[in-house]
């Protein structure tokens, strides 16, 4: 299922959609932000951006042949196979971006009894699912709003816990599954249940590009890429490497970035102003602001970081009037403006 | 697979040209032909794929409607694995078609869960291209349709003189004279040479900035939101120019791209949300006479309608006392594994355990015997009998599907229409919280239209409602017919509980049968349809919009005819 890495359209060459790109980069820097939901029309580079993201991330050291992408140096979080005495060697792998097809079953996602082994040898063994393949990487769910609810529940549980626990079909297995969920959806085709929505860390809205110049540039680049993928990628190799280096630097720096009390206070006050229950909103703002500061090579998060990440961190948590057609970003911006003035 | 029809015999007209363009630019992922049954969609597609296969190689695989996931992506072949006692992997359709074509007939009937696999493959590696055909009346799964660059309507065979005569003679190769056969094979060969030449010059076809700007202007003008469509349009225009031996993309090429790529995606083109509405508006305009009133769009009264809300609540309760969960055989969360009851998903672990336990208790076969089965290797043997089979019971959450039919005829007075909109608005807000789905049927003029198929995208329902015009006659039987159709489709598809809500004054005056007319014929017909309706739609609420002042009880009569609850607005 997990096809070999196919070099695709470079992330750096995507025109516009800054909100989506920033949300994805923040999650690339800090996986604990809790994933991104991208809402927008079809054919707006959502899939392209997610696939291109893997290329920006540093390659992983992985135990050779491990179905769970176990790192060779860590002691915690290793699957049963890799903790054995004769642990195999180490290889380098791209950060996985695993597709979750809409029709996937719970078995396929979480893993299940290995049917073949059970029938052929009578041995009970675990056949890892997509969550195992996506460990330390991204699980990409196109049209997340069309996915069956119980699967979304399962995914969000695992993503939050960083671990997949299977207790079914007479097997009992737990394995590490630190995955960043990236869901995309088209609001015209159905809403995600509100309870599920607010468990995604960030929510980016895709805007329809109406500027002819920019659309023209999109077409130019895309056609150039399709006509000559290698040549096109070569033109963008520098920009890609530069961005990749920024992500790598930010990843190692992010844990040390300080979020000053003033910023935290503004975040809490903002959430209170907007009538949000719980603390997920503030927490996400803080994490995202930290990641943004790290990406910009700073050691302290600023109010500016907060203003930039707040719409994506809060948009999907607002109590929504189902008949409201405008984007909710403006409500957050208004509240923020009032808060910062006062 | 091959119908025997030479492609050169069907390569004319817009569909034929679209297929040639597809052959020229190998980056284009596919084409969708739409049209009525018997318009020659599949004939063209199979002829095309056979022709390409003959001249350029590359596999062609059909994807039948009944195909299952394993057959599409491949996997462990259980039967052979057990028989040969070694892992046998079978290749799926997608593997077999790599570097070639997948043919999907009746795309609108195909399972989205199957199509998504195809779409992911196109998205990720692009080494598979799709030839699809779909009915013109139904919308195929939009995610796959969207990645197919050209959507071409096959109206019929007018563009192909003598099509059917040719088809009959050509599809029986035995009937060809040798002269005729060689003539067609020459024509096929010449076409292949043309395509190859065009492909070689493809990169050299100039695309000026003005051309690009023109296409993008058209896209914006048509309301096409996706830049992907822009890219497709330009590629198609360029390939078309190459096909016509042009050095640069010209007006004709741009027009071709607009017709095949942009127009079908535009909001002012055929998409379902606006087109039927427009059609019914036109129908209303044409209709002169008694109900003639200028079409108007009324704003909804946003006021809460407390008594109605509670009524809907009751309706909901009646349909879906068991609504919270619904057992389903093949989808949802794993509930438990149970023996005996046939299901779709075998619970392997449980089955094996039961078999082992049973064998242990039967003295003849030891529970797990290290034995040798004839012709097979050594290994532990568990003999599974039918009685051991356990199936998995799955459960999924199901919302209610509300079928809302709104009378938008001229007799719906201004205030009534506002209230009706307000009511549906309240229903929408409620449905959003409960994750229900909704289909919206409006009826006015000559017939009812389903302006919105079952969806949980309530934002869209709201928009449809906002722009709902009123005026024209009351085709009530047509509306009931639509509701029956929707309820039946739902039963086959997802089997959510269905509740219909009909907002009308009940004064039917447009019969379904075009040979009859008038109120009397309409009400006679209504009774006939009502009998059928009661069978298919068990739960209905009729909301009378005529108001007390009118002092008529058509709506009440309708309610009793339909076995429905009744409410006066």
> For residue range B511-531, what is the model confidence (pLDDT) as tens digits?
777 777 777 788 888 888 888
Interface of A with B in 242-281 (CB under 8 A): none
Is the pLDDT higher at B320 or at B105? B105
Asked if A78 and A70 touch (Cβ cutoff 8 Å), the reply is yes
In CATH terms, the superfamily for domain A257-341 is Magnesium chelatase subunit I, C-Terminal domain (1.10.8.80)
Q: Is A172 exposed, middle or buried (0-12, 13-18, 19+ CB in 10 A)?
A: exposed
> What residues in B contact A45, CB-CB < 8 Å?
227-228
Residue B351 CA to residue B391 CA, distance in Å, equals 8
Using an 8 Å CB-CB cutoff, list chain A residues near B225: 41-44, 208
Residues 129-148 of chain A with CB under 8 A from chain B are 142-143, 146, 148
Write down the pLDDT at residue B151.
93
Q: Say how many CB pairs under 8 Å bridge A and B.
A: 172
CA nearest to B462, candidates A204, A321, A316: A321
CB contact under 8 A, A223 and B235: yes
Q: Helix A303-314 to helix A18-29 angle, to the nearest 10 degrees?
A: 100
* Cβ-based neighbours of B317, under 8 Å, separated by 6 or more: none
B349 contacts in chain A (CB < 8 Å): 113, 118, 124, 169-171
Question: Could you give the residue range(s) of every CATH 1.10.8.80 domain in chain A?
Answer: 257-341
* Helices A280-295 and A303-314: angle between axes, nearest 10 degrees: 130
Instruction: Tell me the residues of chain A between 158 and 217 that have a Cβ less than 8 Å away from chain B.
Output: 168-171, 187-191, 193, 208-210, 212, 215-216
Specify the residue for token string 């598809």: B493
Token output for A189? 């085709």
Q: Which two tokens stand for residue A187?
A: 């609001």
Burial of A220 (0-12, 13-18, 19+ CB in 10 A): middle
The more confidently predicted of residues B156 and B29 is B29
In this predicted structure, the answer to whether residue B364 has a pLDDT above a threshold of 60 is no
- CATH number of this structure's domain A11-59+94-214, picked from the four choices 3.90.180.10, 3.40.630.10, 3.40.50.300, 2.40.37.10: 3.40.50.300
Beta-carbon separation of A218 and B227 below 8 A: yes
Of the partner residues A47, A169, A321, the one whose CB lies closest to the CB of residue B123: A47
Q: Tens digit of pLDDT for each residue in B13-45?
A: 889 999 999 999 999 999 999 988 777 888 889
Task: Give the B window 349-378 contacts with A, CB below 8 Å.
Answer: 349-350, 352-353, 368
Measured in angstroms, the CA of B182 and the nearest CA of chain A are apart by 37
First to last CA, chain A: 54
Q: What is the pLDDT of residue A3?
A: 42
Q: Which tokens belong to B386?
A: 């039918």
- Tell me if B113 and A102 make a contact (CB, 8 A cut-off): yes
Residue A120 touches chain B, beta carbons under 8 Å: yes
Task: Count the Cβ atoms, other than its own, within 10 Å of residue A27.
Answer: 24
Touching check for B463 and chain A: CB below 8 Å? yes
Q: What is the pLDDT of residue B335?
A: 60
Q: Looking at chain A, which residue has its C-alpha nearest residue B430?
A: A322
CA-based nearest residue to A250, from A21, A3, A97, A27: A27
Q: How many angstroms separate the CA atoms of B207 and B397, rounded?
A: 53
Q: Is B347 on the interface with A (CB under 8 A)?
A: yes
**Which chain A residues touch B457 with a CB distance below 8 Å?**
187-191
Q: What is the mean pLDDT of chain B?
A: 75
According to DSSP, the β-strands at A36-39 and A202-205 are: parallel
Q: What domains, with CATH codes, occur in chain B? A: 1-162+190-197 (3.40.50.300), 205-269 (1.10.8), 275-324+398-568 (3.40.50.410), 335-396 (no CATH)
**Is residue B214 within 8 Å of B262, Cβ to Cβ?**
no
- Chain B residues in contact with A208 (beta carbon < 8 A): 225
Q: Which residues of B touch A115 (CB under 8 A)?
A: 76, 78, 348
Prediction pTM value: 0.70
| Cross-chain CB nearest to B225 (options A41, A146, A321) | A41
Q: Which of A255-264, B167-176, B278-287, B511-520 has the lowest mean pLDDT?
A: B278-287
Alpha helices in B223-302 (DSSP H): 227-243, 251-257, 275-286
Unique residue bearing structure tokens 């055929």: B270
Model confidence at B288, pLDDT cuts 50, 70, 90, reads very low
In the set A51, A136, A253, A280, the catalytic residue is: A280
pLDDT by position in tens, chain A (length 342): 334 445 789 999 999 889 999 999 999 999 889 899 998 887 788 888 988 988 888 888 777 777 777 777 665 555 666 666 665 677 888 888 888 877 777 888 888 877 667 766 666 778 888 998 888 889 998 888 777 777 888 888 888 888 888 887 667 888 888 889 999 887 776 667 766 777 789 999 888 888 888 999 999 999 999 889 999 999 999 999 999 999 999 999 999 999 999 999 999 999 998 888 778 889 999 999 999 999 999 999 999 999 999 999 998 888 765 555 556 777 888 888 888 776
> How many C-alpha atoms does B258 have within 13 Å on its Cβ side?
21
Contacts of A210 in chain B (CB under 8 A): 220
Does the beta carbon of A91 lie under 8 angstroms from any beta carbon of chain B?
A: no
Residue pair B274/B164 in contact (Cβ under 8 Å)? The answer is no
Domain span(s) for CATH 3.40.50.300 in chain A:
11-59+94-214
Between chains, do A47 and B428 touch, taking CB under 8 Å as contact?
no
Active site residue A280: yes
Which is more confident, A118 or B316? Answer: A118
């Amino acid at each position: 299922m997990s096809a070999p890495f196919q070099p695709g359209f470079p992330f750096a060459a995507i025109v516009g959609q800054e909100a989506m790109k920033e949300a994805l980069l923040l999650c690339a820097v800090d996986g604990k932000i809790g994933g991104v939901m991208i809402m927008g029309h079809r054919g707006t580079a959502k899939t392209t951006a997610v696939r291109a993201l893997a290329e920006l991330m540093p390659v992983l050291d992985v135990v050779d042949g491990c179905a769970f992408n176990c790192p060779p140096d860590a002691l915690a979080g290793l699957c049963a196979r890799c903790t054995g005495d004769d642990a195999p060697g180490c290889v380098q792998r791209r950060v996985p971006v695993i597709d979750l097809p809409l029709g996937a079953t719970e078995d396929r996602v979480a893993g299940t009894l290995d049917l073949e082994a059970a029938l052929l040898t009578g041995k009970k063994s675990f056949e890892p699912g997509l969550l195992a393949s996506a460990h330390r990487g991204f699980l990409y769910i196109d049209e997340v709003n069309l996915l069956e609810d119980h699967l979304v529940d399962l995914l969000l549980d695992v993503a939050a816990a960083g671990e997949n626990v299977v207790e079914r079909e007479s097997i009992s297995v737990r394995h590490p599954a630190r995955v960043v969920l990236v869901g995309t959806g088209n609001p015209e085709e159905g809403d995600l249940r509100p309870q599920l929505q607010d468990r995604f860390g960030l929510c980016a809205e895709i805007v329809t590009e109406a500027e002819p110049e920019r659309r023209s540039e999109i077409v130019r680049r895309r056609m150039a890429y399709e006509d000559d993928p290698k040549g096109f990628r070569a033109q963008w190799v520098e920009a890609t490497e530069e961005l990749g280096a920024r992500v790598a630097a930010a990843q190692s720096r992010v844990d040390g970035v300080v979020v000053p009390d003033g910023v935290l206070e503004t975040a809490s006050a903002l959430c209170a102003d907007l009538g949000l229950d719980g603390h997920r909103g503030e927490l996400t703002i803080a994490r995202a602001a930290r990641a943004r500061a790290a990406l910009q090579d700073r050691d302290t998060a600023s109010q500016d970081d907060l203003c930039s990440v707040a719409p994506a961190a809060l948009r999907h948590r607002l109590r929504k009037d189902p008949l409201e057609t405008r984007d909710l970003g403006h409500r957050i911006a208004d509240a923020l403006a009032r808060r910062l003035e006062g | 697979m091959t119908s025997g029809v030479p492609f050169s015999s069907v390569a004319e007209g817009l569909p034929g040209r679209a297929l040639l363009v597809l052959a020229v630019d190998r980056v284009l992922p596919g084409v969708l032909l739409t049209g009525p049954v018997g318009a020659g969609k599949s004939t063209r597609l199979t002829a095309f794929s056979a022709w390409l296969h003959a001249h350029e190689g590359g596999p062609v695989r059909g994807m039948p409607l009944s195909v299952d996931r394993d057959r599409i992506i491949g996997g462990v072949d259980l039967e052979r694995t057990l028989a040969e006692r070694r892992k046998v992997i079978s290749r799926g359709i997608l593997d077999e078609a790599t570097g070639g074509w997948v043919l999907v007939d009746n795309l609108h009937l195909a399972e989205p869960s199957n199509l998504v696999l195809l779409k992911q493959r196109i998205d990720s590696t692009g080494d598979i291209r799709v030839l699809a055909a779909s009915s013109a009346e139904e919308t195929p799964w939009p995610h796959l349709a969207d990645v197919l660059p050209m959507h071409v309507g096959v109206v019929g065979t007018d563009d192909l003189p003598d099509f059917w005569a040719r088809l009959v003679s050509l599809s029986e190769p035995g009937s060809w004279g040798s002269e005729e056969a060689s003539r067609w094979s020459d024509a096929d060969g010449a076409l292949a040479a043309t395509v190859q030449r065009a492909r070689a010059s493809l990169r050299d076809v100039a695309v000026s900035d003005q051309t690009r700007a023109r296409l993008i202007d058209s896209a914006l003008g048509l309301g096409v939101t996706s830049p992907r469509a822009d890219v497709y349009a330009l590629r198609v225009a360029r390939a078309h120019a190459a096909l016509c031996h042009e050095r640069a993309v010209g007006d004709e090429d741009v027009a071709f791209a607009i017709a095949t790529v942009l127009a079908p995606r535009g909001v002012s083109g055929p998409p379902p949300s606006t087109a039927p509405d427009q059609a019914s508006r036109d129908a209303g305009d044409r209709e002169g006479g008694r109900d003639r009133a200028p079409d108007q769009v009324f704003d909804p009264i946003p006021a809460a309608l407390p008594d109605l809300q509670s009524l809907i609540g009751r309706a909901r309760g009646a349909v879906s006392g068991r609504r919270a969960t619904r057992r389903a055989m093949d989808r949802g969360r794993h509930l438990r594994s149970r023996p005996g009851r046939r299901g779709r998903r075998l619970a392997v672990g449980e089955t094996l355990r039961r078999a082992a336990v049973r064998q242990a208790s039967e003295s003849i076969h030891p529970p797990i015997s290290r034995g040798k089965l004839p012709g097979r290797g050594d290994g532990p043997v568990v003999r599974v009998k039918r009685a051991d089979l356990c199936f998995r019971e799955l459960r999924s959450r199901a919302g209610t599907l509300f079928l809302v039919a709104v009378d938008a005829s001229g007799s719906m007075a201004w205030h009534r229409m506002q209230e009706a909109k307000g009511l549906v608005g309240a229903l929408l807000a409620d449905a959003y919280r409960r994750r229900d789905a909704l289909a919206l049927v409006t009826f006015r003029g000559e017939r009812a239209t389903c302006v919105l198929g079952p969806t949980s995208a309530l934002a869209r329902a709201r928009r449809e409602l906002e722009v709902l015009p009123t005026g024209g006659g009351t085709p009530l039987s047509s509306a009931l017919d639509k509701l029956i159709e929707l309820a039946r489709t739902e039963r086959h598809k997802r089997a959510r509980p269905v509740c219909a809500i009909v907002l009308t004054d009940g004064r039917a005056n447009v019969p379904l049968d075009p040979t009859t007319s008038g109120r009397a014929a309409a009400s006679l017909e209504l009774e006939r349809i009502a009998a059928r309706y009661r069978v298919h739609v068990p739960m209905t609420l009729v909301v009378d919009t005529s108001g007390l002042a009118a002092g008529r009880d058509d709506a009440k009569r309708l309610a009793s005819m339909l076995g429905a609850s009744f409410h006066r607005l």
